[in-house]
Structure 1
Amino acid sequence: MVGTIALYDAQGERQHTIYIGATPEYGKASFLKRLEREIARTKTRHPQATYVGIADGAESNWRFLNLHTSEQILDFYQASGYLGAVAVALYPDDLAQQRQWLKQSCHHLKHDPGAATQLYEQMLELSKGLQQSQTIQENLAAALTYFQNHQHQMNYALYRQSNYPIGSGVTEAACKTVIKQRLCCSGMRWKEKGAASILSLRALVLTPTRWSQFWNKLNQYGFPVAS
């Protein structure tokens, strides 16, 4: 499990990232408590900041982020990924038309106010009396449901105007840098305790200044060992 807290300036440039890594845990209670503590510390240091939560469509993500952020944004690349099913439903036998429609619709979704609602209405109209294969119909239905549930989190034109990030790429990249690069090399096998220790160290190393803070604290307070 990986979480990130990224700090951005007023122009939307990322300035600092805090990384948190943990081994798999049913319910994620301990992991979420750690993340909450980091959020609380960040809010104490930056009380005037706008707090934005970015995630995919998993309901558990939004239950957590709704408690801690004032704006919730659906990852743009997750949202745009569902438009491929609509392109296929519109032009099942024309790959060039599919690509053209998909490119235009992704641009529309990203840049135009109200685009998510307009695309949802287009999907809804398309689904009425659609005579395509069962797979195409099921994929279109999944896209329709996704947009119905999340279009209120897809106001990307406004987010971009406010210089908010619209993708969860920082966290996606952290899955690789915190976990994959260290724990998933050829022949590696891990027990939970060892993996948890390595992930904690990895997060310290990757979060700027945390490694030196960690050692300064050890120098100041020492570390208890068995005699």
Structure 2
Amino acid sequence: MPASIVSSNREKIVLQIEIPIEAGNMLDLENSLQKTLNDAGQLGTQELLGLFEPANKEPIVVNKQKWSYKGKVLKHYESMYGKIPFKRSVYQGVRGGVTLSPLDIDAGIVGSATPKFAKSLAWKYSQMPAPAVKEDFEANHQRTLSNSYIKHLSDRVGALIEEHSDADHDYDYDLPQLDKPVSTVAIGLDGTCMLLCEEGWREAMCGTLSLYSADGDRLHTIYIGSAPEYGKESFLTKLNDEITALKQKYPQVTYIGVADGAKENWRFLKQHTSGQILDFYHASEYLGGVAEALFPTSKAKRKLWLEDRLHCLKHKRGGAKKILHEIESAELPKKTTALIEKRYKAVTYFTNNHQLMNYHQAIKRHWPIGSGVTEAACKTLVKQRLCSSGMRWKATGAEVLLNTRSLIQSKGRWEQLWTNILSGKQKVDL
């Protein structure tokens, strides 16, 4: 046999492999090596599964219920190396019905998948569609999977993520080690459209909580994504829970809101922050429209006016009000409908939001003045994965992916999820 077990005990497993060297190029030889290593991996994993078998046939207690030994039943486990048959002990409650396997519970089996395989597959599916994941496993792992199994296992992992975020469970994600003390937490939220199967284009939501040092360096960001929903209740609940957890850890730091001019965003942010900053670059776009209205025939004058007003807006106390008064009273050289509308939109925007444009104060305190982190989250969480050509989603499937991608992008959380799963913190689903 290409792979065999030399010895095995609870301290170590010794495997022996034989690699056939046949005529061919290096790639063929490497493929042969990988196949042999997969054979060895199946044997080794089979032995490792045995470590989680009960030592005796005594009854066990799970979920405060007594379960009695009912024998061994064959199950095929999916691993990174292939499908592994294993006869594991099963137990049944006093009233009969469903059975459970201590091995599955203690080893962190997800459905029929070993934890490493479930973790790897869910990560891959969060980055690319099922057919691409299928092709990746065939080409790079010599594993053949179906599209339906890929989606099914990813949903199982999604259920674990949902359980971990359930308010009824005492689960908290730890922050990574930060290089500097936290001085400011910037909270942002924004939406971006995605296509649902039955409801058409709807708005998915993204939230960010960014931790900044006293000198303005971004130290860490927590990402939150949520599928389209009416009222945004579940998204706002998730965001509120993250804010609450951070305020418990950092009660003395300054919490600020950074977003565009959408009123519903500010209704939420003002409840949780002591400072609010309107995204500077949105304001800049409106001033760019005014510059075009004031100087429709001269790009040079337009550029000089815009640079001067942006400097005033960013660095001068009361700059937003000064600019608002100027553009309200300015005489347009050409009163076309398009140019009048540009000036009107800017006047409306500055009238509604000038109180959120204290950029000079934000810069002095090393606060962020742009919502670029949140806008980037809309692209990296939603657009890159869920908005490729021809993609349509059910809200439940989109939610699974966004939860997974949020954990992966929030540094450290993906690993912590699996640490908790393997430490036995996951609920036993009967």
- TM category, shorter: over 0.9
> 1:78 pairs with 275, 278, 282, which one?
282
Query: Which amino acid letter does the alignment assign opposite residue 25 of structure 1?
Result: E
Is the counterpart of residue 146 in structure 1 residue 353 in structure 2? Answer: no
Which residue among 260, 272, 293 is the counterpart of 1:68?
Answer: 272
Report the Cα offset of residue 131 of structure 1.
5.6
- The offset of 1:51, in angstroms, is 0.3
Match of 1:5?
209
What is the alpha-carbon distance in structure 2 between the residues aligned to residue 75 and residue 31 of structure 1? 21
Percent identity of the aligned residues?
Answer: 49
Q: What is the aligned counterpart of 2:322 among 109, 118, 135? A: 118
Task: Name the counterpart of 1:56.
Answer: 260
CA offsets 1:188-218 (integer angstroms, 9 cap, x no match): 3322211110110100111011112211221
C-alpha displacement of 1:18: 0.4
Alignment check: 8 A CA contact 2:295 2:333 kept: no
Given that residues 90 and 98 in structure 1 are in contact (C-alpha distance below 8 angstroms), is that contact kept between their aligned partners in structure 2?
A: yes
Q: Mapping of 1:11-50 within 5 angstroms? A: 11-50=215-254
Matched, 1:160 2:402: no
Is 1:205 the counterpart of 2:401? The answer is: no
Deviations 1:118-165 (A, max 9, x none): 1011012116x8761122112211111111111111111111000000
- Using the alignment, how far apart are the partners of 1:195 and 1:124 within structure 2? 45
**What amino acid is the match of 1:56?**
D
Once the two structures are overlaid, the 10-residue window that deviates more, 180-189 or 73-82, is 180-189
Alignment of 1:100-111 (within 5 A): 100-111=304-315
Name which of 369, 377, 385 aligns with 1:174.
377
* Separation in structure 2 between the aligned mates of residue 28 and residue 140 of structure 1, nearest angstrom: 33
Report if aligned partners of 2:295, 2:302 keep a CA contact under 8 Å in 1. Answer: yes
User: Is the contact made by 1:22 and 1:199 (CA closer than 8 Å) also made in structure 2?
Assistant: yes
Distance apart, 1:85 and its partner CA: 2.1
Q: Which amino acid aligns with 1:63?
A: R
Aligned residue identity for 2:400: S
The 8 Å contact of residues 66 and 72 in structure 1, kept in 2 or not, is answered as yes
Quick one: distance in 1 between partners of 2:333 and 2:304? 21
Q: What secondary structure sits across from 1:57 in the alignment? A: coil
Alignment RMSD: 1.5
One-letter amino acid of the counterpart of residue 79, structure 1: A
Counterpart amino acid of residue 22 in structure 1? S
> Which residue matches 1:214?
417
Distance 1:96 1:130 in 2: 16
Are 1:130 and 1:137, in contact at CA under 8 Å, matched by a contact in 2? no
Using the alignment, how far apart are the partners of 2:428 and 2:300 within structure 1? Answer: 66
Which is further off, 70-79 or 94-103?
Answer: 94-103
Counterpart code for 2:365: S
DSSP 3-state at the match of 2:254: coil
The match for 2:393 is: 190
Question: Residue 61 of structure 1: SS of its match in structure 2?
Answer: helix
Normalised by the size of structure 1, how large is the TM-score?
0.94
Per the alignment, residue 132 of structure 1 pairs with 335
Larger RCO, structure (CA 8 Å, separation 6 or more): 1
SS in 2 for 1:12: coil
Q: Which has the higher strand share?
A: 2
Structure 2: which 5+ runs fail to align? 1-204
Q: For 1:93, what is the secondary structure of its paired residue?
A: coil
Alignment coverage as a number of residue pairs: 225
Letter of the structure 1 residue corresponding to residue 387 of structure 2: C
Name which one, 1 or 2, has greater alpha-carbon Rg.
2
SS in 1 for 2:330: helix
- CA shift, 1:26, in A, is 1.4
Deviation at 1:222, TM superposition (A): 3.1
Whether the 8 Å CA contact 2:209–2:222 is kept in 1: the answer is: yes
Higher-helix-fraction structure: 1
Gaps of at least 5 residues in structure 1 are none
Q: What is the CA distance between 1:88 and its match in structure 2?
A: 1.9
Aligned partner letter, 1:162: R
What is the alpha-carbon distance in structure 2 between the residues aligned to residue 221 and residue 33 of structure 1? 23
CA distance in 2, matches of 1:83, 1:137: 13
The whole-number CA distance in structure 1 between the counterparts of 2:302 and 2:334 is 17
Aligned counterparts of 2:396 and 2:229: Cα–Cα separation in 1: 12
